[in-house]
Chains A and B, each alone.
Chain A
Amino acid sequence: MKDLKPILKTLWKSKTGPILLIIQIAVAFTILINVGYMAVHKWHEINKPSGLNEERLFTFMANLPVEPDNYKAQLEQDFADILELSSVENVIATNSIPLTSWGLGLALNKTESDESYITYAGVYSMTDGFIDTLGLEVVMGRKFDHAEMLLSSTDYTVQSSTVMVTQAVAKKISPEDWTLTVGKTIYINSRPYQIIGIVDELIATWPTWWGNERSVIYPVYTLTSESKFMVKAREGQLKQAMEDVQALLMRQPGRIIDDYQTFAHTREQGYKPMVSSLAILIAVTIGLIVITMLGTFGQARFAILRRKRQIGTRRALGASKWQIVRYYVLENIVITTLGILFGVVCAILLNVKLMEFFDLLSVPSEYFLFGALAVLVAGQLAVIPPALGAANIPPASATRSI
Chain B
Amino acid sequence: MVNYYIKLAWLSLRKTPLLSFLMVSTIAIGIAAAMVTITVGYMMAQDPLPHKSDRVAMVHLNSWDPMQPYGYRRNGKNDIPSTLTYQDAMALLHANKADKHTLFAQFSDMIRAASADIRDAQLHPVRSTTRDFFDMFGAPFIFGGTWSEEADLNGEQVIVLSKHENDRIFGGGNSIGKELLIGTLLYRVVGVIDDWQPTPRFYTHRYLMYQPTLKYFVPLESQIRNELFSPTSMGWSCWGDAPNSTLADLLVSECVWIHMWVEFDSVAKKDDYFGFMSDYSEEQRKIGRFARPEPNRLMTVPEYLKMEGALSNENIMGIGFALAFLLACLCNVMSLMMTKFHGKGGEIGLRRAVGANKKDIIIQFGFESVFIGLVGGIIGLLLAQAGLSVLAEMFSNMHQNVMTMDIYLMLGTIGLAVSTSVLFGLWPIYRASQIQPSSQLNSL
Chains A and B directly touch (beta carbon < 8 Å): yes
| A interface, CB within 8 angstroms of B | 16-17, 20-21, 23-24, 27-28, 30-31, 35, 61, 68, 101-102, 107, 114, 153-155, 158, 189-190, 222-228, 256, 258, 272-273, 276-277, 279-280, 284, 287-288, 291-292, 294-295, 298-299, 301-302, 305-306, 354, 357-358, 401-402
Contact between B68 and A114, CB atoms less than 8 A apart: yes
List A contacts of B397 (CB < 8 A): 272-273
Q: Are A28 and B394 in contact (CB under 8 A)?
A: no
Ordered nearest first, which 8 A-B pairs have the shortest CB separation?
A: A276-B394, A224-B231, A114-B68, A295-B332, A302-B339, A357-B313, A20-B331, A27-B328
Contact B327 A294 (CB under 8 A): no
Provide the B229-244 mask, 1 if CB < 8 A to any CB of A, else 0: 1111101001101111
- Is B442 engaged at the interface, CB distance under 8 Å to the other chain? yes
B227 nearest in chain A by CB position: A225
On whether A272 and B394 interact (CB within 8 A), knowing A23-B328, A158-B241, A294-B26, the answer reads yes
- 377-400 of chain B: CB within 8 A of chain A: 391, 394-397
Cross-interface CB contact of B22 among A20, A114, A294, A306, cutoff 8 Å: A294
Given contacts A20-B335, A35-B321, A189-B67, are A155 and B328 in contact (CB under 8 A)?
no
Contact status B336-A291, CB under 8 Å:
no
Take A189-B68, A190-B67, A279-B394 as given contacts and tell me if A225 and B332 are in contact as well, using a CB distance cutoff of 8 Å.
no
Of A16, A27, A301, the residue contacting B327 (CB under 8 A) is A27
A30 and B327 CA atoms in complex are apart in Å by: 13
For residue B343, which residues in chain A have a CB less than 8 angstroms away from its CB?
A: 305
In the bound assembly, the distance between CA atoms of A21 and B327 in angstroms comes to 11
Cross-interface CB contact of A155 among B241, B246, B317, B339, cutoff 8 Å: B241
With CB as the reference atom, state the residue of chain A lying closest to B72: A107
Contact between B339 and A224 (Cβ–Cβ < 8 Å)?
A: no
- Tell me if B246 and A20 are in contact (CB < 8 A): no
- Shortest CB-to-CB span from A68 to chain B, Å, is 6
B110 interface hit (Cβ, 8 Å): yes
Number of interface residues of B (CB under 8 A): 57
Q: Is the CB of B68 within 8 A of A190?
A: yes
A288 near B243 (CB under 8 angstroms)?
no
Given contacts A226-B230, A272-B395, 10 further A-B contacts (CB under 8 A): A68-B245, A155-B245, A158-B241, A258-B108, A279-B394, A291-B26, A291-B328, A291-B329, A298-B336, A401-B443
* Chain A minimum-CB-distance residue to B327: A27
Which secondary structure characterizes the binding site on chain A? Answer: helix
Q: Given A153-B245, A154-B243, A154-B245, does the pair A24, B332 have CB atoms closer than 8 Å?
A: yes
Number of A-B residue pairs having CB atoms within 8 Å of each other in the complex: 142
Contact call A31/B108, Cβ cutoff below 8 A: no
Q: Is the CB of A294 within 8 A of B332?
A: yes
Cβ of B435 < 8 Å from any Cβ of A? no
Contact with A along B52-90 (1 / 0, CB 8 A): 000000000000010111000000000000000000000
Within the complex, which residue of A17, A190, A280 is in contact with B338, where a contact is CB–CB below 8 Å?
A17
Provide the bound-state CA to CA distance between A358 and B312, in Å.
Answer: 11
6 sample A-B contacts, Cβ–Cβ < 8 Å, listed by A number: A16-B335, A273-B394, A280-B391, A287-B29, A298-B335, A302-B338
Residue of A nearest to B32 (CB): A287
Instruction: Report the bound CA distance from A302 to B339 in whole Å.
Output: 6
B244 touches A155 (CB 8 A): yes
B207-265 contacts to A, CB under 8 A, are 207, 229-233, 235, 238-239, 241-246
User: Please, which residues of chain B bring their CB within 8 A of the CB of A101?
Assistant: 207
A200, chain B: closest CB distance, angstroms: 27
**Proximity string of chain B (411-429) to chain A, C-beta cutoff 8 Å, 1 when within and 0 when not:** 0000000000000000100
* Contact (Cβ within 8 A) A31 B332: no
